[in-house]
Amino acid sequence: METVSENKCFGGVQGVYRHRSDLCKCDMTFGVFLPERARHAPVPVLWYLSGLTCTHENAMTKAGAQQWAAERGLALVFPDTSPRGEGVADDEAYNLGQGAGFYVNATQNPWAENYQMWGYLAEELPRLLVDTFQIDEERQAICGHSMGGHGALTLAMACPGRFASVSALAPIANPSQSDWAKKAIHAYLGEDGDYWARHDATLALRTAGFDGPILVDQGTDDPFIEALMPQSLATAMAETRHPGAFRLQKGYDHSYFFVSTFMEDHVAFHAEALCG
């Protein structure tokens, strides 16, 4: 593993690292923030999955999570959103290809060769992190924004016992019913509707559920709100009586101004689940 950079940050270290992924068959870059107390003992970890067109860097520099994670003694992990590089399939559309992995294991060509983001985040990267950094494997939580909110919710529901809590900011909540989101899901997974259910937070909550609390924030002035279909997830949470909160934030849009405004709430939510 290559160290790209390391910078002191709120008493801890914000690092960027690169490694060769066996699953994605390319070099993958990710960020890790380690609070000061990680110098002495393994610390709980909060995963942050980013949205369409983002790399590992967007949330790392714009979400403002490090300050709150340092106060709570949490590590942060910022993975990339897709495989990248020469020879990796891409598309002109911003919601398909590089920067738009949708956190699935693609089964269709030309995507299946590299786009194995589900396995990368569920298996390969966690093993590397635990082997390399002072991270407590038994205390993990996950959050995400937009496409990353979709990934966080579906990964949490499909990995029982791994994550103590899950949160999302403006997630793609019901992609199997969203005409806008269907294009990428069809391209990556084909027409297998049963497999789709694993990658739809609204459907997964009804079928698989989740052992911990859920927090969702959605801006009312989000220009993508019709495509995101937040009402579907809110209804599923109410119908399953799932513990947690779905909050509509008046006047907020889809940007990192929205994300950074509520980041402290999300870090505190996960710290409570991880540390009490």
Active site (annotated) includes residue 146: yes
DSSP summary character for residue 82: S
**Can you tell me whether residue 8 is helix, strand or coil?**
strand
Active site (annotated) includes residue 222: yes
**Pick from 54, 17, 14, 48: which is nearest to 34 by CA?**
14
Query: What's the rounded Cα separation, in Å, for the pair 87 and 114?
Result: 9
Do 111 and 129 meet the contact criterion of CB atoms below 8 Å apart?
Answer: no
143 Rama sector, left if φ>0, alpha if ψ -120 to 50, beta otherwise: beta
Task: Name 238's Cβ contacts closer than 8 Å, sequence gap at least 6.
Answer: none
Tokens representing 273? Answer: 């689940």
What is the distance in angstroms between the CA of the first residue and the CA of the last residue of the chain?
Answer: 34
Active-site entry in 222, 232, 266, 270: 222
Active-site entry in 146, 165, 167, 232: 146
Active-site entry in 56, 150, 199, 254: 254
Do 100 and 94 meet the contact criterion of CB atoms below 8 Å apart?
Answer: yes
Q: Which residues are catalytic?
A: 146, 222, 254
